[in-house]
Structure 1
Amino acid sequence: MSAEPMPHADRGDPVHGQDPAEPDPVPDRQLIAMVRAGETAAFAELFIRHRAVAGFVARAEADNQSDAADLVGEAFAVVFQAMVQGKGPTESFKPYLLTTIRRMAHRRNRQARGQAQSTDALQPGTRQSLGTQTMPLYESSVLVQAFWSLPERWQEVLWLVEVEDLKPAAVSRLMELNPNAVSSLLVRAREGFRQAYLQLHVAEAASPACRSVSGRLGKFARHGLPATTELKIRRHLAGCPGCSAALAELTGIESSMSRAPIRTRKYGPRSGRSLRSP
């Protein structure tokens, strides 16, 4: 099956159905649905809306600045092909696009440096074998994995608030939500990020009984489970030294979260923007 060509980003495209100066653009989620349903011309509007931030992230992530334009074009093409095949984003376009750009940039950077090992290869199970010099790299990888594991809307609100440092009013407009809804979504996203970050520090247990507990320790440590489930886990912990030790480790990590922010990315040589530890 040959790849379908992307539509041209032309403001005169009939997909807009309105004067481009009108204040009520079609929401991203509606454009996504149109592309996934076969109305591929709708992708032109998504390209126009997000090419600026895509270029910014590509320039920040690429070691070779001359690669930035190619990264943007390739990323849009990859996302477009995914969408016409019924894959890719379903609600939030920008987080998916930017994640694609970052992955492509990191792959190019690794190839250019000739490095066989990458941060993507770091898994929680390798934590005990890492030296002290590698630990910051490991923690950065865990933060990124935790972020990517979140639902699209949680990724979007965290990105806009924590990385782009936008004001609530701007986030409300971009996400097409009222300020109260943005605040509520941000609270849930931050808590989900904390739980995911903790969970990635838990090694997979050997026994089935322990796996059912260890897979929920991140939420348990943050009191994010129903009372009945929490009671079952407490009973298991009372008789399981292994799971108790894993929980004790998470408790120590949680207590250090607010005291030791971890830098995961640097957006440009003079920028201190990053996704901080939960």
Structure 2
Amino acid sequence: MSVQTMPCPNRGDPAATEPLSDQQLLAMVRGGDVAAFGELFIRYRRVGGFVARTESNNPGDAADIVGEAFAAVLQSIIAGGGPVESFRPYLLTTIRRMAHRKNQTSARMVLTDSRTVDARAFAGDDHVLGTHESIILVRAFRELPRRWQDVLWYVDVEGLKPAQAGPLLGLTPNALSALAMRAREGLRQMYLQKHVGEPTIRSCAPYLRHFGRYVRNGLSGNAQAKIRRHTDQCTHCSAVLAELRELQAPMGANAMGQPALGDVLVRGD
């Protein structure tokens, strides 16, 4: 079932400038005005695509997942079920459920090992290296706390100001800004950690699993010192550490580095 994407103008005063609320649009759909669902589609297809890409093992499936989710929600509403007020949470829950179901039934994987990538997921076949880094960034993003994912999406992908994004998360602009800073640093650390890979030497494992935070000076003084002593004596870990330091150099204190989060998460729209 396809979802029409035609815009739905306000049905009241022609001079009105306030957009209809989700609740009003849902009531119109229930009343037989199926075209009103087009406005909901336009309003939430972008965030729906974001959720589908981050929840799916194969981001190439995102468009199908979003389309199926919107169609399922529309069918539910027409049948007398579905959301009455909270359309966005209902839709995103449906998308996550469908993505997880597809993950369970699909044998395709975005990344099978450090040498094989699905280049179609984010870029052309002539950009395999950039694609590999993009996939690592997405995988790192998926492991962040949900609240961190939300704030990074609103601020760094959609480009909302703290005053705009704050109410969406129940935060003041200052608290939103502080949370965004912590989330960005958490993403940097997780992104670096994803480059460490699985330890090949068992005795190195307790140290390697903290390298992402270590390179970013994110550990306590004692923990930093323990890893430093180990890398001074271990040639393997010393080599891994050198690679991470080179990788994180462009990040600095405030920059994410390449690839950019927003470009990766919205690519393919």
Q: TM-score, normalised by structure 1?
A: 0.58
Over aligned residue pairs, what C-alpha RMSD do you find?
A: 3.9
Distance change (3 Å), C-alpha of 1:203 and 1:94:
farther
Match of 1:13 in 2: none
Q: How does 1:5-84 map to 2 (within 5 A)?
A: 53-58=43-48, 68-72=66-70
In structure 1, how many angstroms separate the alpha carbons of the residues matched to 2:218 and 2:61? Answer: 40
In structure 2, the CA distance between the partners of 1:71 and 1:222, relative to structure 1 (3 Å rule), is: same
Gaps of 5+ in 1: 1-49, 78-92, 270-278
Change (3 A) 1:70 1:251: same
Q: CA deviation at 1:256?
A: 3.4
Structure 2: runs of 5+ lacking an equivalent? 1-39, 54-59, 76-88, 118-124
Change in 2 beyond 3 A, CA 1:170/1:147: same
1:100 aligns with 2:96: yes
Shift of residue 103, structure 1, vs aligned partner: 4.0
Partner of 2:114: 127
The aligned counterpart of 1:233 is 227
Cα distance 1:203–1:261, how it changes in 2: closer, same or farther (>3 A)?
closer
Partner of 2:188: 194
Corresponding position: 1:141 with 2:135:
yes
Normalising by structure 2, we get a TM-score of 0.59
1:255 and 2:249 are equivalent in the alignment: yes
Write the deviation string for residues 1-28 of structure 1: whole angstroms up to 9, x where unpaired: xxxxxxxxxxxxxxxxxxxxxxxxxxxx
Cα deviation, residue 53, structure 1: 4.9
Change (3 A) 1:233 1:52: same
Within 1, Cα distance between the matches of 2:135 and 2:95?
14
Alignment partners' CA distance in 1, 2:61 and 2:140: 24
**1:154: Cα distance to partner?**
0.7
Q: Is the 8 A contact 2:133 2:259 kept in 1?
A: no
User: Equivalents in 1 of 2:216, 2:96: separation in Å?
Assistant: 31
User: Does the Cα contact within 8 Å between 2:134 and 2:259 map onto a contact in 1?
Assistant: no
Q: Indicate if the aligned counterparts of 2:70 and 2:91 stay in contact, CA closer than 8 A.
A: no
Q: CA deviation at 1:161?
A: 0.3
AA of the residue aligned to 2:214 = F
Counterpart residue identity of residue 146, structure 2: E
Identity of aligned residues (%): 34
Distance across 2 between alignment mates of 1:245 and 1:101 = 41
Q: State the Cα distance separating 1:67 from its structure 2 match.
A: 6.9
Structure 1 residue 96, shift from structure 2 partner: 6.5
